Amino acid sequence: MSDPSPVRPAVPVLDVWCELQCPDCRGALDDLRALRARYGDRLELRLRHFPLEKHKHSFAAAQAAEEALEQGRGWEFVEAVLGRVEELDRAGEPFLVEIASELGLDAEEFDTALIDGRHILIVDADQAEGKAIGVSGTPTYVIDGERLDGGKSQDGLRERIEQIADRLLAEQ
């Protein structure tokens, strides 16, 4: 007979709904760095894509982030792009390939991934799931079923995430 209780992941998961052309997401980087520093591998930060139509390069940036994840440097890529949002606004896709090259990633493979669209389904699925759970802007965080909207304000969000993560870790 199977156990009807829900299965908890091995570590708490923080879904980070992000858009790489979003200045508010850039503002959230310090909180994300602090969470990674505090919890290390005891909290999984999972990048989720929510490209906004008002930013014309956000969909390509989300695909590029997936390629960076595939090449093992996802968060580094995300931080590099968010740190230079204005350049992405101006230069578009060539800037994404340039960042990949700067990070020592296979830039040619990046270019190919953006052309062949191999990561489109992941980005589309994230965006659809985000809409289904009420994500309307970025950054938005979901941990243990609680949605926290960072697009309005980051104030207090890291503390709330830490409270939930600490509780989940204590329950393990």
Q: Does pTM top 0.85 for this prediction?
A: yes
Cα Rg of the chain, angstroms = 16
Identify whether the C-beta of residue 80 lies closer than 8 Å to the C-beta of residue 24. no
* Predicted local distance difference test score (pLDDT) of residue 150: 82
Comparing CA positions, the residue from 160, 147, 137, 134 lying closest to residue 31 is: 160
pLDDT digits (tens, 9 = 90+) for 87-98: 999 999 999 999
pLDDT digits (tens, 9 = 90+) for 135-149: 999 999 999 999 998
pLDDT digits (tens, 9 = 90+) for 14-39: 999 999 999 899 989 999 999 999 99
Half-sphere exposure of 153 (CA within 13 A, CB side): 4
* Predicted local distance difference test score (pLDDT) of residue 84: 94
* Predicted local distance difference test score (pLDDT) of residue 14: 96
* Predicted local distance difference test score (pLDDT) of residue 6: 56
CA angle 16, 103, 101 (to 5 degrees): 115
* Predicted local distance difference test score (pLDDT) of residue 27: 87
